[in-house]
Amino acid sequence: MSEFLFEKVALIGIGLIGSSIAINIRERGLAREVAIATRREETLRRAEELRLGSSFHLDPAEAVRDADLVILCLPVGSCGAATEAMAKGLKPGAIVTDVGSVKGAIVRDVGPHLPAHVHFVPGHPIAGTEQSGPDAGFLELFENRWTILTPLPDTDEAATEALRRFWEATGAMVEVMTPEHHDMVLAIVSHVPHLIAYNIVGTAADLETVTQSEVIKFSASGFRDFTRIAASDPTMWRDIFLTNREAVLEMLSRFSEDLASLQRAIRWADGEALFDLFTRTRAIRRSIVQAGQDTEEANFGRLKPRRGDPWNEKGTTAPGE
Ligand SMILES: NC(=O)C1=CN([C@@H]2O[C@H](COP(=O)(O)OP(=O)(O)OC[C@H]3O[C@@H](n4cnc5c(N)ncnc54)[C@H](O)[C@@H]3O)[C@@H](O)[C@H]2O)C=CC1
Ligand SMILES: O=C(O)C(=O)Cc1ccc(O)cc1
């Protein structure tokens, strides 16, 4: 019996998430070997300087050779082409997973390029920051955060369990659900909030009466939190919105309806409506903090779907239900 969870792990892409995984493998001794593949030579050299792996490759098919676990750590829109490029190197029985923020598109784009002799278990650590690149990774990123796995109906259960053990070894908590359910939940707890941040920072920047210097000068308030989110990687977020279109548009139309009723309450000076909503939302925040779970996990548990919500109709049980 090996002392490692996996003998060889291959990381395709080495940005914030890839480098955080690499640091976890190194510091917690989760694999004997770590092969890293990147598109750009410069990123590869930086990964080597940071001692993130044991071998470094520009050809992903070379990196995955003999790997028991292959993790795609790329923007969602690049995963299909990267899988096509690495497929011929995959060994029989290897587990292939990813960390992308959208799961339906990963199943659609990655699945068809994989040989039948590998196990495909899409995944998503719900942990991150607005930073990107190989220097951004850190050991504690996944601690006490959820990682969602979305195996397909015919995925080997042992492969899902092996991946669960890997994520748990990084300090993560693991939940299994369908890709459709994942995409719907993430649309409201992560994707739409990012869109709101991008939008409000864009609106403020465009205002002629609020000069750039005033935006900076007075940003010590709630606006500052939005600027952090709106500093997130443009490629990654473009891909998320293009690949989770349906769920984002669905949540956005609910959001717009609710915003319109707030607008109406302000127009008609309906203080009671405003007070009621703000009281409800304050209670949500307080219960999250009280539970000591200021994480997406708490959001899942507490933002209960309304009757007839698609969350309830698809997928498995949502955490907290
Ligand atoms: N940043 C975050 O907070 C989180 C990100 N994710 C997901 O993880 C994945 C990776 O995100 P990060 O590590 O944050 O990104 P990153 O931007 O820090 O790193 C991405 C890596 O992919 C490479 N890359 C970019 N475009 C490529 C292409 N067309 N072909 C091949 N390689 C390419 C980059 O050189 C870099 O090595 C994304 O799918 C994202 O949705 C998941 C959870 C949190
Ligand atoms: O920086 C933040 O606040 C985040 O929300 C990080 C994040 C970004 C994308 C994900 O799919 C999961 C987590």
pLDDT at 299 over 50: no
- Indicate which residue's Cα is closest to atom 11 of ligand 2: 101
Residue 312: the pLDDT is 39
Of 121, 84, 116, 85, which Cα lies nearest the Cα of 100? 121
The residue whose CA has the least distance to atom 2 of ligand 2 is 129
Ligand 2 atom with the smallest distance to the CA of 194 is: 5
**What is the tens place of the pLDDT at every residue in 62-76?**
999 999 999 999 999
Ligand 2, atom nearest to 130 Cα: 1
Ligand nearest to the CA of 187: 2
- Residue 300 pLDDT exceeds 80: no
> Which residue puts its alpha carbon closest to atom 3 of ligand 1?
128
| Section 146-164 average pLDDT | 97
Is the beta carbon of 100 within 6 A of some atom in ligand 1?
Answer: yes
Which residues, judged by CB distance below 6 Å to any ligand atom, belong to the binding site of ligand 2? 101, 126-130, 190, 229
Judge if the beta carbon of residue 46 lies within 6 A of ligand 1: no
**Mean pLDDT of all residues in the chain?**
90
In which band, very low, low, confident or very high, does the pLDDT at 1 lie, cut at 50, 70 and 90? low
pLDDT of 207 strictly over 90? no
pLDDT tens per residue, range 260-284: 999 999 999 999 999 999 999 999 9
Distance CA 285, CA 283 (A): 5
99 lines ligand 1 (CB under 6 A): yes
CATH 3.40.50.720 fits 6-177, yes or no: yes
Domain with CATH 3.40.50.720 in the chain: 6-177
CATH number of 181-313: 1.10.3660.10
Residue with the smallest CA separation from ligand 1 atom 15 is: 15
Q: How many CB atoms lie within 10 A of CB 221?
A: 8
- Any idea which ligand is nearest the CA of 191? 2
CA of 121 to the centre of ligand 1 (A): 18
**pLDDT for res 294:** 54
Of 73, 76, 18, the closest CA to residue 237 belongs to: 76
Q: Classify residue 32 as exposed, middle or buried by CB count within 10 Å of its CB (0-12, 13-18, 19+).
A: middle
ipTM comes to 0.97
Q: Do residues 12 and 56 touch, judged by C-beta distance below 8 A?
A: no
CA 258 to chain CA centroid, nearest Å: 26
82 lines ligand 1 (CB under 6 A): yes
CB distance 15 to ligand 1 below 6 Å: yes
* pTM, entire model: 0.90
How many Å lie between the centroid of ligand 2 and the Cα of residue 232?
Answer: 9
C-alpha angle with apex 154: 20 to 157, nearest 5 degrees? 55
Task: State whether the beta carbon of 129 lies less than 6 angstroms from ligand 1.
Answer: yes
Would you say 20 and 167 are in contact if contact means Cβ atoms under 8 Å apart? no
The residue nearest atom 24 of ligand 1, judged by CA position, is: 74
Outline which parts of the chain fall under CATH 1.10.3660.10.
181-313
Q: Rounded mean pLDDT of 105-125?
A: 98
Per-residue model confidence as pLDDT tens digits over 287-296? 878 776 554 4
Express the helix, strand and coil content of the chain in percent, nearest 5 each: 55, 10, 35
Which residues does 206 contact at the CB level (< 8 Å), separation at least 6? none
What is residue 210's predicted lDDT score, i.e. its pLDDT?
A: 66
> Phi and psi at residue 72, in whole multiples of 5°?
-80, 120
